[in-house]
Amino acid sequence: MRLSKAYFKTLREVPAEAELKSHILLLRAGMIRKLASGVYGYMPMGLKALKKIENIIRNEMDAEGCQEILMSALQPAELWKESGRWNAYGPEMWRVCDRHDREFCLGPTHEEVFTDIIRNDVDSHRKLPINLYQIQTKYRDEARPRFGLMRSREFIMKDSYSFDKDEEGLDVSYENMYKRYENVFKRMELDVMPVEADTGAMGGNGSHEFIAKADAGESEIAFCPSCKMAATVERAVCGKVKPSSEAELPMNKVHTPGTKTIESVCEYLNKPTDKSIKAIFLKVIPAEGDEQLVAAFLRGDRQLNMIKAVNALGIAEHELVFADESEAADIGSVCGFIGPHGLKPGIKVIVDEELVSLKNLVAGANEEDYHIENLNYGRDYEADIVADIKQLLEGDPCPVCGEKILYTRGIEVGQLFKLGTKYSEPMKAIYKDEDMNERLMYMGSYGIGVSRTLAAVIEQNSDENGIIWPLPVAPYHVIITLINPSDKDQTALAEDIYEKLRKSNIDVILDDRDERPGVKFKDADLIGIPFRINVGRDAADGKVEFKVRGSNYGMDMKKRETVVIDSNEAVKNIISVVSENS
Ligand code: ATP
Ligand code: MG
């Protein structure tokens, strides 16, 4: 590509709305343009990088024997009603009607669509397993679209769906995809960690996320430095506690004026916070049916994990909200003094499993300015649900080995789900086995956020001057900077190098613009092309300046070092390094 003829525009200023490195650089380098909140277009160079990412993914999927198809983004509501997700998905789903008022959505994901294809076309065990994928545009009306491509409302996803005869088959398909995901991110030179994950609205019983390490990432990960346990904070299971051997003391109601928080009541009664019970007052608002008030109780020094609470209640994430203080009277209580003993019937009570093992705790008496001491589970209060609903915190013992848990942050670039029969059952994806018995297919689904991955690569690879593309995903491998386009020797040599590289299928830019060298160098740094050849005053001798932007890919030169070499040597180096690394 000749830059003088190209559609190419970089920005000097940092766009006001962008905070994240990747967002700022993608905009400044002219790789993407915003159309509306959370809606972006890809400009030529951004699109080229995106295609490189897509092709690495495509290549790994094809190598696994998955076949590519392309389904519509527009999906009829009927399919989602069949699976039960039309209501469960909530406000993130982009719902549209046609002129006859028939309902559709712009697909946030495609489990239903792929299940529909397979149930219609596959009826025999002989045709299983099958794994289909697509690289396609998804729509999610995110509550807070932000960070550019990181959390957008329209984005590109690679989604695959496996269909197996049984659970063992699914385990194999899942394992194969997991390995392919490791390859995909390795080939992009993205530093990722696979972690156990919650299955969320997707359902099923096993899931991993691939997290690209980044301080600015939105995903919080709890991990153990000793045994390598790693899970999203939503998912991370807490270790069990040993039952207390304390003798149960008689219940005792105490006057505790003005002590509405755990800290204030524990200070007032001179007790540690781990001898108290914290109440969280919640409400389930289902898509259909009546609202339900919920009181969740956990140890005073713990924090509620909303996702675990959602899972314990068996509802969708958006159906659970915090209740209003004014509603406390409806459960026979008063805010700041809610406790598990003496609540009105009708309220749903969830108790964190840890409380069952603890003795003689203090909690609100459901009466202004009173608490009750020495509460014991079973004797003084019970629950509709006992479950692990607390957050595993940094410093807590690892549930696997007991070592201290650490937290880290990252960007979720991919997720795998074992769906089992979650979709095949309601949607009747059935095959006949060897004995002609009808059986349900076992499904898995596997996503990679392609556009988010583009941003994640930049989060991990940039400096104060701009992007530093890893070679395998760089839009162009090399940029030739023609220092003085009116110099005949320089122009002739730059053209010669350009042609040689193009003929060898190297993605090459010739910066032949009539601009000052400083402007050209700044742009070359900003757009992050891995190798740079400057054709300047040594052109008459056939010599050029050669520079690497980031990794030297095994070449004998340092980062930021400029070496003067013969132009043919520069060409040879690039051809050999590109062929080995992409
Ligand atoms: P998140 O928790 O970040 O909202 P998710 O778990 O809902 O994501 P999945 O349903 O697992 O997302 O989708 C598969 C992949 O698609 C994710 O791993 C992520 O990389 C990407 N993705 C999801 N939502 C977005 C979005 N709003 N913008 C860009 N990429 C996204
Ligand atoms: Mg996910």
412 Cα–ligand 1 center, Å:
7
Return the residue whose CA atom lies nearest to atom 29 of ligand 1: 151
Q: Which ligand is nearest to the CA of 317?
A: 1
Q: How far apart are CA 334 and CA 337, in angstroms?
A: 6
Evaluate: CB of 413 within 6 angstroms of ligand 1.
Answer: yes
pLDDT at 345: 87
Are residues 190 and 74 in contact, defined by beta-carbon separation less than 8 angstroms?
no
pLDDT at 201: 59
Domains of the chain are: 3-237+407-459 (3.30.930.10), 252-391 (3.90.960.10), 476-581 (3.40.50.800)
Return the residue whose CA atom lies nearest to atom 3 of ligand 1: 412
Specify the 3-state DSSP secondary structure of 567.
helix
Evaluate: CB of 152 within 6 angstroms of ligand 1.
Answer: yes
pLDDT at 116: 98
The DSSP string of 105-147 is EE-S--HHHHHHHHHHH--BGGG--EEEEEEEEEE---SS-BT
Mutate to test the pocket of ligand 1, among 57, 94, 111, 157 (most ligand atoms within 8 A of CB): 157
Evaluate: CB of 414 within 6 angstroms of ligand 1.
Answer: yes
Question: CB-side exposure of 171: number of CA atoms within 13 Å?
Answer: 3
pLDDT tens digit at each of 582 positions of the chain: 999 999 999 998 888 889 999 999 999 999 999 999 999 999 999 999 999 999 999 999 999 999 999 999 999 999 999 999 998 898 999 999 999 999 999 999 999 999 999 999 999 999 999 999 999 999 999 999 999 999 999 999 999 999 999 999 999 999 999 999 999 999 999 999 999 998 765 556 789 999 999 999 999 999 999 998 999 998 998 888 889 999 999 999 999 999 999 999 999 999 999 999 999 999 999 988 899 999 999 999 999 999 999 999 999 888 999 999 888 888 889 999 999 999 988 899 999 999 999 999 999 999 999 999 999 999 999 999 999 999 999 999 998 998 999 999 999 999 999 999 999 999 999 999 999 999 999 999 999 999 999 999 999 999 999 999 999 999 999 999 999 999 999 999 999 999 999 999 999 999 999 999 999 999 999 999 999 999 999 999 999 999 999 999 998 888 778 999 999 999 999 999 999 987
- The answer for residues whose C-beta is within 8 angstroms of residue 426's C-beta and 6 or more apart is 82, 83, 84
Long-range contacts of the stretch 516-521 (C-beta < 8 A, 24+): 517/481, 517/483, 520/481, 520/483, 521/481
Closest atom, ligand 1, to C-alpha of 417: 11
Long-range contacts of the stretch 55-58 (C-beta < 8 A, 24+): 56/184, 56/187, 56/188, 56/472, 56/473, 57/135, 57/158, 57/184, 57/448, 57/450, 58/135, 58/158
Evaluate: CB of 447 within 6 angstroms of ligand 1.
Answer: yes
- The answer for residues whose C-beta is within 8 angstroms of residue 469's C-beta and 6 or more apart is 49, 457, 461, 475, 528, 529, 530, 549, 550
449 Cα–ligand 1 center, Å:
6
Evaluate: CB of 108 within 6 angstroms of ligand 1.
Answer: no
Alpha helices in 188-299 (DSSP H): 262-269
- Taken as a whole, the chain contains a residue count of 582
Q: Greatest CA separation found in the chain?
A: 98
448 Cα–ligand 1 center, Å:
8
229 Cα–ligand 1 center, Å:
23
Mutate to test the pocket of ligand 1, among 412, 416, 458 (most ligand atoms within 8 A of CB): 412
Return the residue whose CA atom lies nearest to atom 27 of ligand 1: 151
pLDDT at 202: 58
Return the residue whose CA atom lies nearest to atom 19 of ligand 1: 449
- The answer for residues whose C-beta is within 8 angstroms of residue 74's C-beta and 6 or more apart is 96, 104, 105, 106, 107
Evaluate: CB of 140 within 6 angstroms of ligand 1.
Answer: yes
pLDDT at 203: 59
Token duo for residue 419: 């769906």
Evaluate: CB of 449 within 6 angstroms of ligand 1.
Answer: yes
